[in-house]
Amino acid sequence: MALNSTPAWRALVAHTAPPLPHLRELFGADPQRFDRFSASFDGWLLDYSKQRVNSETMSLLAALWQAADVHGWISRMNSGAAINPTEARAVGHTWLRAPLPRPEVSAVLAQMRNFCVAVHSGEWRGATGERITDVVNIGIGGSDLGPRMVTQALNAYAIADIDVHYVANLDASDLGQKLQRLRPESTLFVVCSKTFTTQETMQNADSARAWLVGALGEFAVAKHFVAVSTNLEAVAKFGIDPNNAFAFWDWVGGRYSLWSAVGLSTALAIGYVHFEKLLAGAAAMDEHFFSAPVGQNLPALLGLLQVWNTSFLGAPTQAILPYSQSLELLPRHLQQLEMESNGKRVDREGNELQTPACPVIWGEPGTNGQHAFYQLIHQGGRLIPCDFIAIKQPDYDLPGHHAKLLSNCFAQSEALMRGKTLAEAQAELGAGADPVLAANKVFPGNQPSTTLLMPAITPYTVGQLVALYEHKVFVAGCLWDINSFDQWGVEYGKQLAARLLPVIEGKTENAQLDSSTAGLIKASRV
């Protein structure tokens, strides 16, 4: 039976009418609301009391968890079953961070450790004998976003004397801007691609190789290029020494791959010891997810609440708002993690979904977002659930910043929850207030949010954070009954681009084009 025909799903639909009272009233009626609707784990707090839920909502969501057999799917994933059937693949990213990894994983981790030590100690040098001062990770999607985000998040742990850069875009300005400031003698390129066929990565790798060879000669490639891939044959064809290739496996999805050798650039940035702590943090979150009861299980709660807001309350988007500059790139990483995983139109049986699944994920760090788009969240008239992420212990502790940062974060979720009535706005303005101005100062409130309070930004907690969202996506995918591990939606555009390239290059005229595409190609000729 399709999940949305189950009694559990139908009970949740029935529960939406009539809607729950305004959040302000729910807080007024229950002084214990925070205690009732918050959970903690290993120094983390998840406060979901500002979500539009009551105890019945949470029981009904727990029943949906049962109906969706989330525990069964966890067991199938952990046993190595091909739970990604459209690619006939198992889903094993948690095996990469297991406390006792499989032999093939241990071997690559050892290779990564040795390589990091060699680069950091200066034992590994460029072809002319210079130390490596700059690492350029060339990759896109999962071979870029996760490692880039973690490297930025852990900047406080960065190894001195080595700068790590990330290049992803096919636009030459991405690589070109970086190369402008680099010296070939001291630059190491890490070409990172699961398939080693991705157009953007191959083009950037070719251009980087030409730049290096142009300056130092062909012999230099061996000391300035390493690769991370599941396709070691293609790596060898590209001309990278097989000794400088780091393997991973088809059971690691691109957007779940930062724990594999795809994390090599991160390990070069922060040191292998810190990379190991990242893995340990993720493993701790895995253990929590696999064992904690639903009501105390952080990823389970985040997944259930996302499905509640999206499928039952009708919210088409979700904002990710980290109050941490170090987590600046988290929304971008989660865009791929969530939308490439759950932005699907059919269920596991291939039946069309009745309503869209994954919401549009977007966001920016607070407080910057407050001066940009929060206006719309407060008064734009749309339902926008928000994840606020706050940090107890700042990673850069300049006097005067952190208390102000936290006060802004907590004030925003309070304002979104509480709102401001017309009577309150009039009272603030005083007697004889301009009614137009008063109307502009009304905030409807009742905007749902969750606040995640992290203990600190460390390799361990960042590992926990990323794993937390990975499992949240898994839960939501189970509740929507979709395969979260394929990504066929990215293929069609690639196919069409391959067809257009020879037309744009003037190698062929293609009469089959629609008038817009043909017109654009014509107009783009210089």
Catalytic residues: 340, 371, 494
Site for ligand F6P in 179-218 (CB under 6 A): 193-195, 198, 201
Q: Which amino acid is at 3?
A: L
Q: Give the residue, chosen from 423, 427, 490, 504, that forms a contact with ligand F6P under the rule CB under 6 A.
A: 490
Residue 255 binding ligand F6P, by CB under 6 A: yes
Which residue matches tokens 């190595």?
80
Residue 140 binding ligand F6P, by CB under 6 A: yes
Residue 142 binding ligand F6P, by CB under 6 A: yes
Number of helices (H), then strands (E), belonging to the chain: the values are: 23, 11
Q: Residues 489, 343: contact at Cβ < 8 Å?
A: yes
Taking the complex as a whole, the smallest distance from the CB of residue 202 to ligand F6P amounts, in Å, to 8
Listed ranges 32-40, 137-145, 311-319, 513-521: which one lies at the site for ligand F6P (CB under 6 A): 137-145
Site for ligand F6P in 32-91 (CB under 6 A): none
Taking the complex as a whole, the smallest distance from the CB of residue 92 to ligand F6P amounts, in Å, to 16
Site for ligand F6P in 324-353 (CB under 6 A): 340
Six-digit token string for 318: 């979700």
Query: Given the complex with ligand F6P, which of 450 and 487 has the nearer CB atom?
Result: 487
If you count them, how many residues does the chain have? Answer: 526
What is the spatial distance between Cα 365 and Cα 368, in angstroms, rounded to a whole number? 6
Listed ranges 83-91, 136-144, 299-307, 464-472: which one lies at the site for ligand F6P (CB under 6 A): 136-144
Query: Given the complex with ligand F6P, which of 198 and 326 has the nearer CB atom?
Result: 198
What is the spatial distance between Cα 3 and Cα 348, in angstroms, rounded to a whole number? 11
Residue 260 binding ligand F6P, by CB under 6 A: no
Site for ligand F6P in 381-420 (CB under 6 A): none
Torsion of CA 186, 206, 87, 467, to 10 degrees: 30
Query: Given the complex with ligand F6P, which of 230 and 413 has the nearer CB atom?
Result: 230
Q: Bridge partners of 229?
A: 247
Q: Bridge partners of 167?
A: 138
Query: Given the complex with ligand F6P, which of 170 and 438 has the nearer CB atom?
Result: 170
Q: Where are the beta strands (DSSP E) in 402-513?
A: 449-456
Listed ranges 3-11, 135-143, 310-318, 463-471: which one lies at the site for ligand F6P (CB under 6 A): 135-143
Q: Residues 483, 477: contact at Cβ < 8 Å?
A: yes
What is the spatial distance between Cα 447 and Cα 365, in angstroms, rounded to a whole number? 19
Query: Given the complex with ligand F6P, which of 201 and 370 has the nearer CB atom?
Result: 201
Taking the complex as a whole, the smallest distance from the CB of residue 140 to ligand F6P amounts, in Å, to 5
Taking the complex as a whole, the smallest distance from the CB of residue 182 to ligand F6P amounts, in Å, to 22
Q: What is the DSSP string of 6-46?
A: SHHHHHHHHHTSSPPPPHHHHHHH-TTHHHHTEEEETTEEE
Query: Given the complex with ligand F6P, which of 25 and 171 has the nearer CB atom?
Result: 171
Torsion of CA 362, 368, 370, 376, to 10 degrees: -40
Query: Given the complex with ligand F6P, which of 254 and 322 has the nearer CB atom?
Result: 254
Q: Residues 415, 445: contact at Cβ < 8 Å?
A: yes
Query: Given the complex with ligand F6P, which of 495 and 516 has the nearer CB atom?
Result: 495
Taking the complex as a whole, the smallest distance from the CB of residue 331 to ligand F6P amounts, in Å, to 17
Taking the complex as a whole, the smallest distance from the CB of residue 142 to ligand F6P amounts, in Å, to 3
Q: Which amino acid is at 136?
A: V
Taking the complex as a whole, the smallest distance from the CB of residue 487 to ligand F6P amounts, in Å, to 5
Listed ranges 138-146, 238-246, 427-435, 443-451: which one lies at the site for ligand F6P (CB under 6 A): 138-146
What is the spatial distance between Cα 32 and Cα 27, in angstroms, rounded to a whole number? 8
Listed ranges 3-11, 112-120, 134-142, 379-387: which one lies at the site for ligand F6P (CB under 6 A): 134-142
Residue 398 region, left (φ>0) first, then alpha (ψ -120 to 50), else beta?
Answer: beta
- Signed CA dihedral, 145, 151, 155, 156: sign only: positive
**Residue closest to 338 by CA, chosen among 358, 313, 318:** 358
Angle, helices 70-79 vs 272-291, to 10°: value is 140
Residue 370 binding ligand F6P, by CB under 6 A: no
# chain residues binding ligand F6P, by CB under 6 A = 14
Query: Given the complex with ligand F6P, which of 142 and 359 has the nearer CB atom?
Result: 142
Residue 141 binding ligand F6P, by CB under 6 A: yes
Q: Give the residue, chosen from 143, 204, 309, 412, that forms a contact with ligand F6P under the rule CB under 6 A.
A: 143
Question: Helix or strand or coil: residue 246?
Answer: strand
Torsion of CA 191, 194, 200, 206, to 10 degrees: 40
Taking the complex as a whole, the smallest distance from the CB of residue 254 to ligand F6P amounts, in Å, to 3
CA angle 240, 206, 161 (to 5 degrees): 70
Taking the complex as a whole, the smallest distance from the CB of residue 200 to ligand F6P amounts, in Å, to 8
Which residues make up the interface to ligand F6P (CB under 6 A)? 140-143, 193-195, 198, 201, 254-255, 340, 487, 490
